[in-house]
Structure 1
Amino acid sequence: MPGSGKTLFGNILKERGYQVVSMGDVLRKRYEKDAKIGERLMDYAKRIREIYGDGVVARLSLEEVDPKAKRVAFEGVRSLAEVEEFARLGNPIVVSVHSPPSLRYSRLMARQRSDDSTKIEELKRRDYQEIAIGIGGVIAMADYVILNTGTIEDFKRQAEDILNKL
């Protein structure tokens, strides 16, 4: 979910030599080119999924993979259809990074990315939209879960434990 710590996990993967493709960045890049005037990012995401299928952002993300990359991670998977797109190339391992809503909200308010909001009602609406897209299925089917409620050091320890198993 937004604000859970996906980027922090991605940074740890980068330190280990992974190419990390942010699916959110891929979507935002496409949005900047193709969005209708006044269309919000989430509305754009829903629209392209309706047109091209639920796995479209995964397919767009695959285009960003460096052919020389030995290990690749995709940050921000939102549906099982996206996991299925990645499964066409191999056996994806899904790591869910989870934080409770109140903690995620405080992180989102602090980072103030362009698609973040400081209004709690809007953040709840975004969560519901993410759930409607299918993120709950991805979380439920994850191979590993990091519960990100403590310090950055706690998070890094959990991440390293998982990566050492892989």
Structure 2
Amino acid sequence: MPGSGKTLFANLLKEKGFTVISMGDALRKRYEKDAKYGERLMDYAKRIREIYGDGVVARLSIEEITQSTTKIAFEGVRSLAEVEEFKRIGEPLIVAIHASPQLRYSRMTARMRADDSTDVNILRKRDLDEISLGIGGVIAMADYVVVNDSTVEEFKKKSTDIIERILR
């Protein structure tokens, strides 16, 4: 979910030699080319899923792979259909990063990225939009879960332990 710590986890993967492909970035590339005027990114994501199927963002992300890529991580999986797309190219492991809504909202209001808000109702709607895409199924089927409810240092330690287990 937004604000859970996915980007920090992705940065730790990069330190371990992974190529991290942000599914949000792959979606934004397409969005910049053909979104309707004033269309929110989430609305665009829903629209292209209706047209091309629930795995479309995974397919866009797979296009970002280069031949020199050996260890790949996709950041931002939102549905089991996307996981199925990744199974076409390998044997994906799912790592879910969990934090409570209250903690995530606090983080998002502090960081204030372009799609963040200080309005809890807007953040809750964003969560509901994410859930409607099927993220709950991905979290439920995760091979590993990192609970990010403490300090950055503690999260890094938990995450590094899981990354090391994956690499073995």
TM-score strictly above 0.5: yes
Query: 1:46 corresponds to which residue?
Result: 46
Q: Deviations over 1:81-139 (max 9, x none)?
A: 00000011111000000000011001111121111121110100010110010000000
Q: Deviations over 1:22-55 (max 9, x none)?
A: 1111112211111101111110000000000000
Q: What are the ranges of 5 or more consecutive residues in structure 1 without an aligned counterpart?
A: none
Q: Distance in 1 between matches of 2:67 and 2:93?
A: 20
Q: Distance in 1 between matches of 2:140 and 2:91?
A: 17
Q: Distance in 1 between matches of 2:63 and 2:113?
A: 25
Q: Distance in 1 between matches of 2:98 and 2:2?
A: 10
Q: What are the ranges of 5 or more consecutive residues in structure 2 without an aligned counterpart?
A: none
Query: 1:140 corresponds to which residue?
Result: 140
Q: Structure 2: which amino acid aligns with 1:94?
A: I
SS in 1 for 2:74: strand
Counterparts of 1:1-166 in structure 2 under 5 Å?
A: 1-166=1-166
What is the total number of aligned residue pairs between the two structures? 166
Q: Deviations over 1:40-77 (max 9, x none)?
A: 11100000000000000000000111211110000000
Greater than 3 Å deviation, 4+ residue runs: none
Question: Which shows bigger deviation, 113-122 or 96-105?
Answer: 113-122
SS in 1 for 2:73: strand
Which TM-score applies when normalising by structure 1? Answer: 0.98
Seq. identity, %? 67
Q: Distance in 2 between matches of 1:100 and 1:80?
A: 22
Q: Distance in 1 between matches of 2:111 and 2:32?
A: 21
CA RMSD of aligned residues (A): 0.7
SS in 1 for 2:77: coil
Which TM-score applies when normalising by structure 2? Answer: 0.97
